[in-house]
Structure 1
Amino acid sequence: MADSTPASDTPAAFGDPIYREGVIELLGVIAYGELSAFERLAEDAKLAPSLRDKAELAQMAQAELGHFFGLRDRLESLGVDPYAAMEPFEESFTRFHVQTAPSDWLEGLVKAFVGDGLAADFYREIAAYLDVDTRALVLESLDGTGNSAFVVTRVREAIEADPTIAGRLALWGRRLMGEALSQAQLVAAEHDGLTAVLVGGSDRAGGMDLAAIGRMFARMTENHAGRMAELGLDS
């Protein structure tokens, strides 16, 4: 659980230009992430070993695209060009995906489950400092992200068939953890609006101090360990 309570007065919150900038940046980065996830899952489907697997990944991709449309529409309702709001995050996402390009189908599944789950944890933490309406949209857009029973089943089946792959996938999961945490820190540091919302740069929220930020990353680490255990892997 995060360390703050969201503001309830949505119109008043958006009267603060710092807060408004932070919300636009947050919606922009999540929207880019959803569109990127859709594209990545669609590509992964090409490597799927069966038609059933292709269909499952296509369904996951479709869910990501639906989330993207909701975020796009919200940005437009704020009078913002959604694609302009997304563009500043292109370099960060490209960097992350280059550094975490999976070598095979199973690594792609683990990345979808673990990597997307870590990103969702980070955005949920920030959402605790948002007005009620924006917070609800963010949480809805993250619903189900990185949480597919299909992925868990396929990875566990693969480990049961060949236990020797567990070590490799565990190392891969740890690498994803490190890269995702670095990505989260860089995204926050590179965008003043996001930082202001997180640490309380607006008048409507207290934000996090250094201790609270430490607890946030500890929670993210614990959640990662839980996901790895669900896959049958050591964290």
Structure 2
Amino acid sequence: MVNWKFWQQRPPARILRLRSRGDMGDATRVDFEELAPAVETFLGQAAYLQLGYFETLSRLIRATPELEEKEALSLAAGAALVKHRAIIDVIRDRGDDPAEIMRPFQEQLDTFRRATIGARPRETMLSVHITAGMLDDFYRALAASYGDTGRRIARILNVDSDRELIVDLIRATIDADDEMRSLLSMWARRLVGDTLLVARAALRPQRLGIDDEKKVEPVFTALMAAHARRMDALGLAS
């Protein structure tokens, strides 16, 4: 597991709403009071995460000789880059420097990304599908805290991520190879822990009290339910 201590400042008061969308299920409202981060933190991390997905997928494109796989990876990489650039536009429209907004999270999120790169291409494909799916869900929920800026980010994150062909490749591997099925199932369970730490670190100042834990729990329950549905769709046990 990666130890995350991203933010030392106490964040301003926000309201976090979990909205219904696809895998996220029924709408749930959760008040986080002062647990949600400042908008600059939200934007910087969201933008850099998309850039990280693009980089990981681009490296896989270079590493694979199969044209079918290159096509699947290129579609997903392109979608991540489009989302990254759209979030950058939001940052610029606020009058901020995108590099300065993202820089505080570069080292920590690069560490997270390196920790979720697998020894085999299929593991890394699964990493992107699982971690991006969970964190996109989380940031869509968090976006409700930030008024018009948050609504713009939610619309960006709602755009199709074009990972369907990657899912097809993973599913074909699972169907054809029981050993890989077991390995990928274990790998996915490992990914969940590190991914939830990234999401939790975006909320807490230093410590999360008992009452705050109760407020946070419904959001992470929804994230895990959505993750279980993704795993079921792949034919893997969550």
Q: Normalised by the shorter chain, which TM-score bucket?
A: 0.7 to 0.9
Q: CA deviation at 1:44?
A: 1.2
Find the counterpart in structure 1 of residue 202 from structure 2.
187
Structure 1 SS opposite 2:63:
coil
Give 4+ residue runs of structure 1 displaced > 6 Å after superposition.
Answer: none
Find the counterpart in structure 1 of residue 140 from structure 2.
124
Amino acid across the alignment from 2:56: R
User: Is residue 215 from structure 1 mapped to residue 218 from structure 2 by the alignment?
Assistant: yes
Q: CA deviation at 1:127?
A: 1.3
User: Is residue 36 from structure 1 mapped to residue 52 from structure 2 by the alignment?
Assistant: yes
* In 1, Cα distance between equivalents of 2:102 and 2:122: 29
Q: CA deviation at 1:188?
A: 3.1
User: Is residue 234 from structure 1 mapped to residue 237 from structure 2 by the alignment?
Assistant: yes
Find the counterpart in structure 1 of residue 10 from structure 2.
none
- Structure 1 unpaired stretches of 5+: 6-17, 196-207
Find the counterpart in structure 2 of residue 96 from structure 1.
112
Find the counterpart in structure 1 of residue 180 from structure 2.
165
Q: So what's the TM-score if we normalise by structure 2?
A: 0.79
Task: State how many pairs are aligned.
Answer: 208
Amino acid across the alignment from 1:31: A
Residues 108-136 of structure 1: CA deviation (Å, up to 9, x unaligned)? 111111111111121122112221x2232
Find the counterpart in structure 1 of residue 165 from structure 2.
150
Equivalent residues of 1:92, 1:187 under 8 A apart? no
Amino acid across the alignment from 1:153: D
Equivalent residues of 1:112, 1:146 under 8 A apart? no
- Percent identity of paired positions between Structure 1 and Structure 2: 29
- Structure 2 unpaired stretches of 5+: 1-26
Identify the structure with the greater helix proportion.
1
Equivalent residues of 2:44, 2:102 under 8 A apart? yes
Amino acid across the alignment from 1:56: A
Equivalent residues of 2:30, 2:219 under 8 A apart? no
Q: So what's the TM-score if we normalise by structure 1?
A: 0.80
